[in-house]
């Protein structure tokens, strides 16, 4: 039986071993996550009406102005942020693809695509759905920046994927291995992962590091 072992450490190391081999030349500079995405806007108030009022993103009060030489705002997207910047946009606003999935775009994970579709319908926001049929919706902000909203399971993210390797940033000790195979009964796996995630959620406020080992049997 072959195994894939993923070890993710949100501190200073990140090592990936695939089928017993590793790339020893890979520089180890401690990748943790995407910190924020910068989005250009022409009018900050108009953009805040979209991102804060319509989408419901919360402002990061720790970074109200940042003393930058231009207006902007920081909005939370989970544990990452969007940085709205009121600056000239060098990209053309016309001639963009109708479907945002074929343009440069920012993807936000959500729990309910249909509920967001209702919000867009009520607000008159144009959108397109995923061409592949997966639960995802594409729209544009007031400055024609493309956004994707993809639906993920609230408790188990990516359960249909061939493997699961996610770093959970908590103060917990190394989490137990979770073995998965392509023919595993997901009904058996679900309660185990739900219990694990509940344990992680309880420690989020004390989060300082993360380690998750996932062993995938295939």
Judge if 104 and 158 occupy the same domain: yes
The total of structural domains in the chain comes to 3
> What is the pLDDT at residue 167?
43
CB 100 within 8 A of CB 140: yes
More confident residue, 137 or 206: 137
Do residues 157 and 110 both lie within one domain? Answer: yes
Give per-residue pLDDT as tens, 165-215.
Answer: 444 444 445 545 454 554 555 566 677 777 777 777 666 555 544 433 333
Place of tokens 């945002």: 100
- Distance between CA atoms of 53 and 158, rounded to whole angstroms? 29
Q: Are residues 158 and 181 in the same domain?
A: no
The model carries a pTM of 0.61
Q: Are 145 and 196 contained in the same domain?
A: no
CATH number, domain of 116, equals: 3.10.180.10
pLDDT at residue 28 tops 60: yes
Which residues constitute the domain of residue 79? Answer: 34-90
DSSP 51-113: IIIIS-PPB-TT-S-TT-SS-EEEEEETTEEEEEEE----S-SSS--SSGGGS-EEEEEES-H
Q: Do 86 and 40 fall into the same domain?
A: yes
**Which domain-ending residue is among 162, 179, 196?**
162
pLDDT band, residue 74 (cuts 50/70/90): very high
In terms of domains, do 101 and 151 share one? yes
């Amino acid at each position: 039986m072959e195994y894939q072992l993923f070890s993710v450490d949100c501190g200073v190391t990140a090592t990936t071993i695939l089928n017993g081999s590793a790339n020893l030349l890979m520089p180890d500079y401690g990748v943790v996550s995407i910190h924020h995405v910068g989005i250009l806007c022409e009018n900050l108030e108009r953009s805040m009406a979209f991102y804060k009022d319509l989408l419901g993103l919360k402002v990061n009060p720790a970074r109200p102005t940042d003393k930058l030489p231009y207006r902007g705002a920081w909005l939370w997207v989970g544990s990452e942020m969007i940085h709205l910047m009121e600056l000239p946009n060098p990209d053309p606003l016309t001639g963009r693809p109708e479907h945002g999935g074929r343009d440069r775009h920012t993807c936000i994970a959500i729990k309910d695509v249909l509920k967001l579709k209702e919000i867009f319908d009520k607000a008159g926001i144009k959108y397109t759905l995923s061409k592949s049929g997966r639960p995802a919706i594409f729209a544009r902000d007031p400055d024609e920046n493309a956004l994707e909203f993809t639906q993920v399971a609230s408790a188990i993210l990516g359960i249909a994927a061939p493997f699961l390797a996610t770093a959970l940033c908590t103060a917990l000790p190394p989490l137990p291995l979770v073995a998965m195979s392509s023919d595993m009964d997901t009904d058996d796996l679900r309660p185990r992962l739900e219990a694990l995630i509940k344990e992680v959620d309880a420690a989020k406020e004390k989060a300082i590091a993360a380690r998750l080992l996932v062993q995938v049997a295939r």
